Homo-oligomer: A and B are copies of this chain.
């Protein structure tokens, strides 16, 4: 058992105790040790004085091994970026390098308060290994791309089935599978249908890129005569499965109607969408329609970090500025995107500090100049905070303590990442 003592919460004034038993929050209250008759010798006590406890953040769209590509190229057109840098480096990846990138990304996420991420990439065995060792929670999908070729399609489906089975067999409460058809412009109709079928069979979510750029929408329209959401709806893609649609930058009214009707979840990635010049997603309109919104960082090659707090602030800021309306997307709403909504989207009992929920808890040291005066904490966490956290529990285990990783030797991982980069850049 762990007790976090005398900690501040966003929703209530005063100091609170949080009692963690196994991987769940057992109680939240005042003076819990006395009330529950707990002996000091039986529990690990974490001093929460001058600390704020928040639920761990949920990043619903990432490509975690791309930490190794951080900063290789910026400020250039998308196709040049992909052709001359990203795809070249990706072609040199292997399981070991992906593992290294995952460890680096897990450290970065944990240290910035993200406890769960929803990832799409390849060499999944390397990602699984990094997730297990670091202590983070993840929903992992193998990114399927067939480029409309049958042989490739069969291989991609096989890869997905294999990794889904492997993850389910592990039976690790921190690792769950999802199905990851890359996007409607890179996957054939047959692959999209197969992905949907696998997701239904295993009852797991689908993770897909949707409507990120105007170009890809044009491509889908040329191929199918429909916009991407219309096309997917026409093949029954949304029936009986939870679909997490990353980006959703350019949407027609008809598409938003489909999203509403089919309970599609949006992963809003404002920073990546700005950086690649993709555009600005119509979040205020999606909010009006009650379409659930979550937040993602995308890969750190187009961001260039995994600090989800930056997305929270950006999600609140950008729509105000574009629409000349300071009341749009209030801070409390964008914080929900990154917590409660993320947990719901992934069907995990995370994203809220609540008795019975999973113990994914982040402690933030409030004695920082940018959090002073220690008032209006709901505002500070969105508009003033930098995403540097002190202590992190995931699944009831302490994985970050006083700013230091518990399960990993950070500096060793940094050296591994340096060596990996040198292999990839050659």
Chain A residues with CB under 8 Å of chain B are 67-68, 70-72, 74-78, 81, 104-105, 107-108, 111-112, 214, 270-271, 273-280, 300, 303-307, 316-318, 320-331, 367, 369-370, 372-377, 379-380, 382-384, 386-388, 410-411, 414, 417-418, 420-421, 425
Contacts and interface: CB of A to CB of B under 8 A. Distances in A.
B317 A68 contact: no
Q: Which of A271, A321, A329 has the most CB of B within 10 A?
A: A321
A386 B370 CA distance: 13
A331 B305 CA distance: 15
B280 A380 contact: no
B326 A70 contact: no
A373 B415 CA distance: 8
A376 B71 contact: yes
A342 to B, nearest CB: 21
Q: Rank and list the top 6 A-B pairs by shortest CB-CB distance, nearest first.
A: A274-B321, A71-B376, A71-B379, A277-B326, A108-B369, A373-B421
Contacts of A329: 75
A329 B325 CA distance: 25
A199 to B, nearest CB: 32
Nearest to A275: B317
Contacts of A386: 305, 307, 386-388
Q: Which of A276, A329, A379, A384 has the most CB of B within 10 A?
A: A384
Given A70-B384, A270-B321, A367-B414, 17 more contacts: A67-B372, A70-B379, A74-B383, A75-B329, A75-B331, A104-B369, A104-B372, A214-B324, A274-B318, A277-B323, A279-B321, A280-B321, A304-B383, A307-B386, A367-B411, A373-B417, A375-B425
A317 B375 CA distance: 30
A279 to B, nearest CB: 6
Contacts of A375: 71, 421, 425
Given A367-B411, A370-B306, A375-B71, A278 B78 contact: no
B384 A326 contact: no
